Amino acid sequence: MPLGDKLGWEKSESRYCGVETDFSEDMPQLLTFNISSGGFDFVVAPLMDPTYRPSLMEKDGGGLCVLPFSGSDLVLSPSQWSSHVVGKISSWIDLDSADETLRMDSETTLKLEIAWANHLSLQACLLPCPKGASCANYARCVNQILQGLNTMQLWLRIPLMKTEQDSMDVNSSNLIDSWELWNSFRLLCEHHSQLAIALDVLSSLPSVNSLIRWFGESVRAAIIHTDSFLTNARGYPCLSKRHQKLVTMFFNHSIQIVIGGKSVHSSPGASSNLVANNFDNNVEKSVQRHPLRSYLDYVGYLFQKMDPLPEQERFELGYRDFLQSPLQPLMDNLEAQTYETFEKDSVKYIQYQRAISKALLDRVPDEASITTVLMVVGAGRGPLVRASLQAAEETGRKLKVYAVEKNPNAVVTLHSLVKLEGWEDIVTIISCDMRYWDAPEKADILVSELLGSFGDNELSPECLDGAQRFLKQDGISIPSSYTSFIQPVTASKLYNDVKSHKDIVHFETAYVVKIHNVARLAPSQPVFTFTHPNYTSTKSNQRYKKLQFEIANDAGSAMVHGFAGYFDAKLYKDVHLGIEPSTATPNMFSWFAIFFPLRIPVCIQPGSPLQVHFWRCCGASKVWYEWCVTSPASSAVQNSNGRSYWVGL
């Protein structure tokens, strides 16, 4: 029984809530009790009798005789095993124990249980938390297993523990940052994409900055213990405000909730089968069939309390954390579907219309009867032409429009649009690359939408420099300037997707991506700025910037997998457009962020600076970016000479 049906959440795994159970020899009864009667969606259940130890088995003929340790695979259908059971590996195993017998038993048992789970086609297995700070042998064995695994995931159990900086306890020196434990384990396993995390959520939580790190990691489940719940005025379980906010973030990141532990709440009037569940004064009547049902109901209540996804986010769901190659606007002609997607972004064209209206009002006095020459360079299928003419109508100004477009297919649509709208006397269509067109007259206003996710990455500077020759000396360019920004991020999924190609080319490519499951480790900083028109004597579009980021002292260590890139553009005066998180234009979807991956992720410590270098390089036929890290350790300069990724002129 999913937690609820909400628009846009139909495909989210976080709709499903599981329960951690003890070992049972009767798996059908276990599912009936917890799923059919209890209302949970899946169980996290041990697959092997916890008393089993290989060293206790009798040896026959010099070989180890392994007795049956689990029930038959026939007791459930394959779909039941796959959909309703997450295997729980025996919690006693300790592969880094000083006791050789325990260590050998642990390795044998681990491999047996995962092989059995693999045979059952389970989607995931829960691995016990490492017993100490040293986990090299445990990670080695898990890495061996991962090499031969099919599609099953291994969830490493990690407690969401406080760091030393968070704690005021005199014994805080005994505390460790559990992220360090996870990071050590996954590095030993080579960032394997099938190794994920199940977070143990305890009664006390780390700082907000410490929690944020986990949302860029491969967290698949959050196990909330019953003793983490508080008791409300009516005796029912509830969570603190901080825990509620964390659970909501888990929902937003498709992290499944699992209830663990024994019931520690006894409902008032327990003698009756009917109990009143009251969560924040919302009263419901239900029959309690399971000792943990009230916890499940509370989690469902938190899910139902969430607002439905806005229309824009529902549209973007399919693009979340999906790597796309950036457009090559000068080398390639856009297709009709691409034009249509961009043209649906009404917010962008409203901003352009506002900018053009202000420019017209500044350009032409109220009493003057002057025709303003406006050129739309890169007119596409005409949305900026329409926005310009609407701005003229709004301000009562006269316009003469030149629509310059190099894509012959889009020009066909432009001619049809002009004829349909009756713009023949106002709009002149020019089928030509703006850089090579000889304009019959100078323009008062030059309008373009050549911006990419990183501002200049679709060669707006080069295009507008080429078009500037037909702008009057006092003419207006819209946009008038734009700045790129970068931000260090933890992005485990994006990193693994790039890594899966097993070549250097993909690590040296910048991708357009709707980033979602990432942790933004520090505020973004500006990189390159371009201004138009540009009348400086040296018109080089090459750029270099050194930046320094620091993560918050209470955040704990974090892994930098790469950099998210954004832009902010000033269209005209106070009218801006952009995707930089702190100033992003609301409800605009024309641009996703850009992602610059690092070939070797960098681990940074709190208070230790991350020093980054970015270059924008220009050649005779291409423009490209190079980037590297020089602190806390030096990396290679990526994409040297544009060997892997470049934009053609």
CA atoms within 13 A on the CB side of 238: 15
> What would the two tokens of residue 435 be?
């850089």
Beta strands, E only, 418-550: 427-431, 443-447, 471-478, 481-490, 511-513, 519-520, 525-531, 543-549
Q: Is 343 a catalytic residue?
A: no
Residue type at 605 in one-letter notation: Q
Going by DSSP bridges, is the β-strand pair 85-88/42-46 parallel, antiparallel, or unpaired?
Answer: parallel
Q: Is 421 a catalytic residue?
A: no
Catalytic residue, chosen from 107, 217, 458, 626, is 458
d(CA 114, CA 153): 10
For 558-590, give one letter per residue: b (16+ CB within 10 A) or e: bbbbbbbbbbbbbbbeebbbbbbeeeebeebbb
**Cβ(367)–Cβ(393) under 8 Å?**
no
**Cβ(491)–Cβ(219) under 8 Å?**
no
Q: 194, 170, 165, 202: which is closest to 180 by C-alpha?
A: 165
Residue type at 464 in one-letter notation: L
Catalytic residue, chosen from 107, 113, 217, 449, is 449
User: What's the gap between Cα 172 and its chain centre?
Assistant: 33
Annotated binding-site residues for S-adenosyl-L-methionine read 339, 348-349, 405, 433-434
Residue 154: DSSP 8-state: E
Beta strands, E only, 406-542: 427-431, 443-447, 471-478, 481-490, 511-513, 519-520, 525-531
Q: 492, 495, 521, 518: which is closest to 606 by C-alpha?
A: 521
Annotated binding-site residues read 339, 348-349, 405, 433-434
Classify residue 460 by burial, with Cβ atoms within 10 Å: 0-12, 13-18, 19+.
Answer: buried
3-state secondary structure 319-350: HECCCECCCCCCCCCCCHHHHHHHHCCHHHHH
Question: Helix axis angle, 293-305 relative to 241-252, nearest 10°?
Answer: 70
* CB contact set of 289 (below 8 Å; sequence gap of 6+): 37, 38, 39
- Distance of CA 407 to CAs 21, 377, 555, Å? 62, 12, 49
Handedness of CA 422, 428, 431, 432 (dihedral sign): negative
Q: 104, 102, 79: which is closest to 92 by C-alpha?
A: 102
Residue type at 578 in one-letter notation: G
Q: For residue 326, say if its preceding peptide bond is cis, omega within 30 degrees of 0.
A: no
Handedness of CA 618, 623, 629, 634 (dihedral sign): negative
Q: By three-state DSSP, how is residue 285 classified? A: strand
Residues with a catalytic annotation lie at 449, 458
